[in-house]
Structure formats: structure tokens, C-alpha cells
């Protein structure tokens, strides 16, 4: 059910993006994309950083950390107890939301620039 919801949300987003391009001028679309990019980075970078800090604090209690553990930190989620997982979940989700908003804004800015140049 979750996968279907994600798919429907993605299709709705793509359709809405296509509709907005016909209504909003490319310059405004570009500016909205840049604002989304900045907002996503402002929200996502600090929360993503704090997620890594909290995860490191939790993982150190289980023993020494492998080298470059931060490159794929989700691999280590299986080692966590439910209580430890609850401690990192909020920061994990907030960082992911910031990332998604930043990527969406960057793509919108690129689309606005491309349409403006055509």
C-alpha cells in the first residue's frame, strides 16, 4: 500500500509540475525552484548532520565503528534496538524530507531555465 501511495504522489507531482509550467512563467518557476532548493538545504543539512551525530553516538555503544560508516549509514539500522531506532528516526526522516525538497527545487529551477531559453 505504501508503494502505491508513493507512486500516486509522484504521478500527481509530475502532473502538477506539467500543469504549473503552462500557468506560471518560466522565470517565476525558476525562482520558485531556487527557493525550494534553498529551503530544502537549510532544513535538510542540519537535520541530516544531526542524524549522523545521533546515529554515531548510538553505534559507538555497540562497539567500534567501521571505517567510512557514514557513507551508507542505513546499513547499520539493523543493529539498533527499537528504542535506539526511535531516537534516530525523526532526524532521519527530516533529513530525507529536506533532501527531497532540495532535489525537487533544483529540478524545478533547471526546468524553468530550460523553458526560458527555448
Q: How confident is the model at residue 14 (pLDDT cuts 50, 70, 90)?
A: confident
In 3D space, the residue among 102, 50, 2 whose CA is nearest the CA of residue 110 turns out to be: 102
pTM for the model stands at 0.76
Which is higher by pLDDT, 110 or 25?
110
What distance in Å separates the CA atoms of residue 23 and residue 75, rounded to the nearest whole number? 43
Burial 2-20 (b: 16+ CB within 10 A, else e): eeeeeeeeeeeeeeeeeee
Convert the pLDDT of each residue in 31-65 to its tens digit: 999 999 999 999 999 999 999 999 999 999 988 88
pLDDT for the residue 1:
78
What distance in Å separates the CA atoms of residue 43 and residue 117, rounded to the nearest whole number? 31
Q: Answer yes or no: is pLDDT of 20 > 80.
A: no
CB 50 within 8 A of CB 70: no
Amino acid at each position: 500500500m505504501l508503494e502505491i501511495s508513493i507512486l500516486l504522489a509522484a504521478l500527481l507531482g509530475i502532473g502538477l509540475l506539467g500543469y504549473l509550467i503552462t500557468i506560471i512563467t518560466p522565470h517565476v518557476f525558476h525562482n520558485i525552484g531556487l527557493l525550494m532548493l534553498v529551503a530544502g538545504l537549510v532544513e535538510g543539512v542540519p537535520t541530516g548532520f544531526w542524524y549522523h551525530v545521533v546515529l554515531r553516538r548510538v553505534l559507538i555503544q555497540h562497539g567500534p565503528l567501521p571505517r567510512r560508516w557514514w557513507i551508507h549509514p542505513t546499513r547499520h539500522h539493523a543493529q539498533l534496538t527499537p528504542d535506539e531506532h526511535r531516537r534516530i528516526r525523526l532526524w532521519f526522516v527530516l533529513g530525507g524530507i529536506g533532501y527531497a525538497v532540495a532535489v525537487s527545487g533544483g529540478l524545478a529551477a533547471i526546468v524553468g531555465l530550460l523553458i526560458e531559453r527555448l
